[in-house]
């Protein structure tokens, strides 16, 4: 199973999460098979920013982990994601949390997500699935 973390704390957060999920599911090489509940969570790192909405998606895909990451980054850009401040506010955040049982350590791609075990905002929704 492949799990993707999805979150947003700018704009219409709920609409963004739904639209991003729909975009993923519309791709022929990706099928969203389950979604966790959506949780409102405190920001991590830079705490002086709006609350996040976070969820986890379970997907099947024929894409490699690298190509899936490229797809997620393109969707983030479509929603106006800017990477100006580490742990800063974001219109959309999509992260590969787990890619089956793969362990990947490449520049720009680490799976399992290196901070997965530290972040209740993904662990709690992951437990939903």
Instruction: Just list the catalytic residues.
Output: 81, 90, 93, 95
State how far the Cα of 41 lies from the Cα of 7, in Å rounded to an integer. Answer: 10
Contacts of 78 (CB under 8 A, 6+ apart): 23
**How is residue 86 written in tokens?**
């580490």
47 phi-psi bin (left φ>0, alpha ψ -120 to 50, beta other): alpha
């Amino acid at each position: 199973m492949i799990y993707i973390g999805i979150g947003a704390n700018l704009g219409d957060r709920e609409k963004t999460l739904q639209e991003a999920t729909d975009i993923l599911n519309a791709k022929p090489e990706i099928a969203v098979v389950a979604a966790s509940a959506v949780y409102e969570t405190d920001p991590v790192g830079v705490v002086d920013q709006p609350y996040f909405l976070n969820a986890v998606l379970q997907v099947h895909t024929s894409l490699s982990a690298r190509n899936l990451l490229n797809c997620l980054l393109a969707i983030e850009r479509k929603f106006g994601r800017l990477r100006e401040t580490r742990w800063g506010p974001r219109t959309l955040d999509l992260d590969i949390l787990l890619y089956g049982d793969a362990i990947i350590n490449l520049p720009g791609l680490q799976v399992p997500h290196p901070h997965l075990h530290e972040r209740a905002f993904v662990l709690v929704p992951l437990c939903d699935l």
